[in-house]
């Protein structure tokens, strides 16, 4: 599997949108394409690609300050879930963000995915809230040199 950035508007970005629509929106009876996507030009898009070059997972990072970033739109293709791809793309993203000084990470995690993020060192902060019609929690993680696999391996 290869982790690499995806350019907004590229063919890979169109595949990223198709994956997000299938995994994150269609199961909720919604369409990603009803949303305002133009602001995503300012965001950092990443994909995990298999050896044949097919996109199997994607995630977006939004820098909030020189040290803080928000993670959003994390999706692993249905066929590749529960095989370690989610862990791999988040670890690679953390390593990338730490390299640019973004060590305070946060996200709005679906309640159904909280256990996944807890395994990766994220902590729930504050009460449950609703987003896209389903329960979410804010989760946070601070990357540290000695507490994070991604940083130790740099």
Closer by beta carbon to ligand COA, 37 or else 85: 85
Q: C-beta of 151: minimal distance to ligand COA in Å?
A: 19
Contact 69, 104 (CB under 8 A): yes
Closer by beta carbon to ligand COA, 12 or else 56: 56
Q: C-beta of 150: minimal distance to ligand COA in Å?
A: 14
| Torsional sign, CA 4, 34, 76, 122 | positive
Half-sphere exposure of 70 (CA within 13 A, CB side): 12
Q: C-beta of 154: minimal distance to ligand COA in Å?
A: 21
Residue 141 dihedral angles phi and psi, to the nearest 5°? -150, 140
Which parts of this chain interact with ligand COA (CB under 6 A)? 23-24, 74-76, 81-87, 109-110, 112-113, 115-116, 119
Q: Which residue is nearest to ligand COA (CB)?
A: 86
Q: Which residues contact 107 (CB under 8 A, 6 or more apart)?
A: 70, 71, 72, 74, 117, 122, 138, 139, 140
Closer by beta carbon to ligand COA, 61 or else 75: 75
Q: C-beta of 108: minimal distance to ligand COA in Å?
A: 7
Closer by beta carbon to ligand COA, 66 or else 131: 131
Per-residue tokens: 10: 């590229």
Cα–Cα distance between 9 and 51 in angstroms, integer? 23
Closer by beta carbon to ligand COA, 67 or else 77: 77
Q: C-beta of 114: minimal distance to ligand COA in Å?
A: 7
């Amino acid at each position: 599997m290869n982790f690499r950035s995806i350019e907004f508007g590229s063919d890979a970005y169109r595949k990223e949108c198709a994956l997000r629509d299938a995994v994150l929106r269609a199961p909720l009876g919604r369409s990603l394409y009803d949303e305002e996507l133009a602001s995503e030009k300012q965001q950092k898009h990443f994909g995990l690609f298999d050896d044949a070059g097919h996109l199997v997972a994607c995630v977006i990072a939004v820098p909030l300050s020189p040290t803080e970033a928000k993670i959003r739109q994390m999706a692993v293709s249905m066929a590749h879930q529960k095989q370690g791809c989610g862990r791999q793309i988040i670890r690679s993203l953390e390593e990338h963000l730490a390299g640019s000084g973004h060590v305070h990470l946060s996200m709005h995690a679906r309640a159904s995915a909280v256990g996944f993020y807890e395994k990766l060192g994220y902590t729930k902060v504050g009460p449950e809230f609703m987003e896209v019609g389903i329960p979410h929690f804010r989760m946070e993680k601070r990357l540290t040199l000695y507490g994070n696999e991604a940083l130790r391996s740099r």
